[in-house]
Chains A and B, each alone.
Chain A
Amino acid sequence: MSVLVIAEHDNQELKSSSLNCLTAAGKLDAHIHLLVAGHQVSSVSEAAKNVSNVSKVLVANAEQYGQLTAENIALLVASIASAYTHILVAATTFGKNMLPRAAALCDMSQISDIISVESENTFIRPIYAGNALAMVQSSDAIKFITVRAAAFDATAAVGGNAEVEAINESNDTKLSEVMSREIAAGDRPELTAAAAIISGGRGLASKDKYHQLLEPLADKLGAALGASRAAVDAGFAPNDYQVGQTGKIVAPDLYFAIGISGAIQHLAGMQSSKVIVAINKDEDAPIFQVADYGLVGDLFEIIPELTEKL
């Protein structure tokens, strides 16, 4: 068996989702190759070689990988794929965009968004937005797999000392070009990597209230901010805050659902959280069915009080 993990990074930092993916890979083999494809990625490859279960870091350093476009990275992955039995990447927008392209270039299928490794060819993955779990078995020679990061703990980022090998670049496809990226800046942790998440729903009533009430609470807890689809559609919070079936799948240690009724598509995105706290004025809200602690009342009074007493 030989396992390749594709690192996600921004040419500067190795993303924590890669560490979760490496844990899934570790269930297949103890020695893993980690591919870092980017431009001027020395800080990423340095971080990669220290990860505890990585035995070799492959570095493809070329300008054409700097924007991390699917066309160029998939071509590179396909060019080295035949040396591996398993190729994994975290199921982030980077991984979901790129890996199916690499798999198809190799005439292989893909197993998406696995939450468990049962054996070298058998995996469990959610279907129907997490309302059912499928155990599937692949007959392909190379298993292309995306990994739900929230379902696996992170591998230790230190303790390893992998060999680093530069690999040849493949052709520049010149098919696409990133014109701009607007990434929300700030001190808050990324939603999918946060230990605590404060999520708001339509009960917050307005964009102003959403920010006024939730930001101080998130600051006190060092938490990321999230939102229900209803809150995003109402314009209270930006699109990438959305937790749920069509948004982000999260599993923090502590999840606050504030003014969120608990639509099935929201629950699909957060019900793996370790501890769920629900605050809602409607005692019949479905969110209380999944919450460890529920508090019924006026969130416009409860949240300031909670923030102050923390």
Chain B
Amino acid sequence: MKILVPIKRVIDYNLKVRVKKDNSDVDLSNTKMGVNPFDEIAIEEAIRLKEASIATEVIAISCGTSASTDVLRTALALGADRAILVELEHNPEPLAVAKLISAVCAKEQVKLIICGKQAIDDDCNQTGQMTAALLDWSQATFASEIKIEGDSAFVVREIDGGLETLKVALPAVVTTDLRLNEPRYATLSNIMQAKRKPIDVITASDLGVDVSPRVSLLKVMEPPTRTAGEMVANVDVLLEKLKTEAKVI
């Protein structure tokens, strides 16, 4: 079984993003970038399925500018067998990514796609579901456990109020939630070896996909900030304030 893992290059999750002064976008110049954290979880899960001899090959794919080569190298260092870069001039929207991934799946006989539930930059939470729709595959989003049995996957999903166990027919798209696993670190020797693993570079037109944007970004703003209120001396003062000032109890 081949597993495809789509990954996105995003701002390092430890960094706080800045809004540009002209409000045109966020400022990512000189910012450390890396693999979207949910996608790291997806890579880890795919590698574990390969280590368990359930998967035969793990292919990482990224759709973006040539800068995305670095996150594909990271995926290879973590254990992906090979990688595909769909090289674009701009970062594409989720629907375009879904189309590109679907087109690659048609060529590669992939049986399972594991991807992050959302990217921590645009927070869209769409690509996995859209890819499943275009391929007419089943989907299991927000996974905290994946078990493959025969032609089905049993996926524990984190839903509002609790957990759901879903049985999906393969091929399927599974999107990862935070607690699915704890990703490993790449060792130095694996990082060196990854430099010899192949990255195929293709374009959207090779795949016959129109990636023109449908949504335009008009402006980016700072969120309203809260200001610190007052410190109270004890429980009695707190209760008094909540009753008479804030009127919430």
Binding site for B on A (CB under 8 A): 69-71, 74, 92-94, 96-105, 107-113, 122, 124-140, 173-184, 190, 192, 196, 221, 238-240, 245-246, 248, 253-254, 264, 271, 274-277, 283, 288-296, 302, 305-306, 309-310
* Segment of B1-9, B47-55, B78-86, B165-173 in the binding face: B165-173
Given the contacts A100-B125, A128-B17, A305-B235, A136 and B163 also touching, CB distance less than 8 Å: no
B188 interface contact, C-beta 8 A: no
Contacts of B238 in A (CB 8 A): 277, 293, 295, 306
**Contact present for A274 and B248 (CB under 8 Å):** yes
**Contact present for B138 and A71 (CB under 8 Å):** yes
Contacts of B196 in A (CB 8 A): none
Q: Which residue of B lies closest to A70 (CB)?
A: B139
Given the contacts A101-B130, A178-B165, A295-B235, A109 and B214 also touching, CB distance less than 8 Å: yes
Chain A interface mostly helix, strand, loop or mixed?
Answer: mixed
Question: Given A110-B124, A182-B163, A295-B238, list of 7 further CB < 8 A pairs?
Answer: A70-B129, A100-B130, A184-B162, A245-B120, A254-B246, A295-B231, A306-B235
Query: Which of B26, B222, B246: most chain A CB closer than 10 A?
Result: B246
**Contact present for B230 and A135 (CB under 8 Å):** no
Q: Which of B154, B158, B223 contacts A130 (CB 8 A)?
A: B223
A-facing residues in B139-169 (Cβ within 8 Å): 139-142, 144, 154, 157-169
Q: Which residue of B lies closest to A181 (CB)?
A: B164
Contacts of B230 in A (CB 8 A): 292-294
**Contact present for A109 and B26 (CB under 8 Å):** no
**Contact present for B222 and A132 (CB under 8 Å):** yes
**Contact present for B142 and A101 (CB under 8 Å):** no
Distance of B171 from chain A, by nearest CB (Å): 10
B244 interface contact, C-beta 8 A: no
**How far apart are the CA atoms of A276 and B187 in the complex, in Å?**
44
Contacts of B222 in A (CB 8 A): 132-133
**Contact present for A100 and B133 (CB under 8 Å):** yes
Chain B interface mostly helix, strand, loop or mixed?
Answer: mixed
Q: Which residue of A lies closest to B167 (CB)?
A: A177
Contacts of A192 in B (CB 8 A): 160
Q: Which residue of A lies closest to B230 (CB)?
A: A293
**Contact present for B121 and A239 (CB under 8 Å):** no
Query: Which of B16, B133, B216, B219: most chain A CB closer than 10 A?
Result: B133
Contacts of B161 in A (CB 8 A): 183-184, 190, 240
**Contact present for B122 and A127 (CB under 8 Å):** yes
Contacts of A289 in B (CB 8 A): 226, 228
**Contact present for A112 and B242 (CB under 8 Å):** no
**How far apart are the CA atoms of A128 and B131 in the complex, in Å?**
23
**Contact present for B141 and A176 (CB under 8 Å):** no
Distance of B15 from chain A, by nearest CB (Å): 10
**Contact present for B93 and A96 (CB under 8 Å):** no
B95 interface contact, C-beta 8 A: yes
**How far apart are the CA atoms of A253 and B126 in the complex, in Å?**
31
Q: Which residue of A lies closest to B102 (CB)?
A: A104
**Contact present for B133 and A293 (CB under 8 Å):** no
B67 interface contact, C-beta 8 A: no
Q: Which residue of A lies closest to B234 (CB)?
A: A295
Distance of A90 from chain B, by nearest CB (Å): 10
**Contact present for B242 and A128 (CB under 8 Å):** no
Contacts of A133 in B (CB 8 A): 220-223
**Contact present for A254 and B120 (CB under 8 Å):** no
B132 interface contact, C-beta 8 A: yes
B232 interface contact, C-beta 8 A: yes
Q: Which of A112, A132, A196 contacts B221 (CB 8 A)?
A: A132
**Contact present for A179 and B167 (CB under 8 Å):** yes
Q: Which of B131, B163, B221 contacts A181 (CB 8 A)?
A: B163
Q: Which of B142, B214, B246 contacts A139 (CB 8 A)?
A: B214
Q: Which of B16, B95, B214, B236 contacts A131 (CB 8 A)?
A: B16
Given the contacts A93-B160, A135-B219, A240-B161, A176 and B139 also touching, CB distance less than 8 Å: yes
Q: Which residue of B lies closest to A283 (CB)?
A: B231
Contacts of A306 in B (CB 8 A): 235, 238-239
A-B contact pairs, 9 of them (CB 8 A): A70-B129, A98-B129, A132-B220, A133-B223, A134-B220, A135-B218, A240-B161, A293-B229, A306-B239
**Contact present for B235 and A302 (CB under 8 Å):** yes
**Contact present for B94 and A109 (CB under 8 Å):** yes
